[in-house]
Amino acid sequence: MEIAGIQGLKQSVPTAVNNRQNTTESASFDKMLNHYMKEADGAVKEFETKSLALAKGEAIDLHDVTIAAQKANIAVQLTTHVRDKAVEAYQEIMRMQV
């Protein structure tokens, strides 16, 4: 009975190229996360600006303020959920046995 050598092992061993690719992916995730954080902050600031203008009695439509409020609410909820999932993932990694 002839036993074939293990060929697939080389492919699963991480290499410098794979490590660079993972670093690039994490950097892009970081950029994406920062981008969405800035968008959420912008939505909140837009709502604050519109609600302040409405409170001052400026000519602004109420539905624009309501839409801005909902956008800000959704952005804050999404940001909170992403933060919670990141903390949960971190805690799960810390519980792993090495």
Q: What is the pLDDT of residues 41-51, one digit of tens each?
A: 999 999 999 99
Q: Nearest 5°: CA angle at 41, between 35 and 47?
A: 140
Q: Which residues contact 43 (CB under 8 A, 6 or more apart)?
A: 68, 71, 72, 75
14 or 50, greater pLDDT:
50
At 18 the pLDDT is 52
